[in-house]
Amino acid sequence: MFIPSAFVETDLIWLDRLLARDAFVTLVTTGADGLPQATRMPVLYRRDADGILIEGHWAKPNPQAGHAGPALMLVQGPHAYVSPGWYPDKAAQARVPTWNYAAAELRGVLEPVTDDEALIAMLDSLSAHYEAQVGGDWELLPIEPRQQRMLGGIVGFRFRPAQVQIKLKLSQNHPEANQSSVIDALSALDAPASRELAQWMRWRREGGAAAD
């Protein structure tokens, strides 16, 4: 990922925040024909003593299923258009339109998970996590015959990124007056995505970790 120095972020709290916001990622690998393969999927993310662990699963018919080896995971954050008309110095500096956003790219090695017990534990954690988010009470019941058949139709994976790139393009390369003006303009729009981006800009200005 191309990241100008002004937008580089190394504090993993921003990765925590990105994946807490939206853990529906894009997983990219290289297929047998040498071309990229991509799957969009929900994942379970956590940090532990060994670093970062991300778990998920494919449907078995997916050509990417069972891939072992290098992979790229794309994490999308908030984004929105920024008008040059919002900058106080727009005329003096001949400002142009841009797009503000937050995103991450993770590179590492995929490890397929086919062991039944490990797969059940992974699926149980994944479903419990997302059921809790929506106030649901669905449970994985691996002894139930229909669920047993479904388990045979998926392949799990573990992914430990060796490289994490976080990009926060949040107007931090602009003077304070421009940043404040963009935050105000985004906050005033009748668009949830723009207002969310304004909040991320506030967090970035307040020091990130201290904003929680």
For 53-67, write each residue's pLDDT tens digit. Answer: 999 999 999 999 999
CA dist 137 and 142 (Å) reads: 16
Pairing assessment for the beta strands 69-82 and 24-30 based on DSSP bridges: antiparallel
Mean pLDDT computed over 174-191: 96
Q: Which of 50-59, 102-111, 131-140, 181-190 has the lowest mean pLDDT?
A: 131-140
DSSP letter assigned to residue 155: E
In contact, 3 and 167? CB cutoff 8 Å:
yes
Lowest mean pLDDT segment, chosen from 133-137, 170-174, 198-202: 133-137
Question: How many angstroms separate the CA atoms of 86 and 106, rounded?
Answer: 33
Average pLDDT, integer, range 186-205: 96
User: pTM, whole model, 2 decimals?
Assistant: 0.90
% of the chain at pLDDT higher than 70: 95
5-37 pLDDT, tens digit each: 999 999 999 999 999 999 999 999 999 899 999
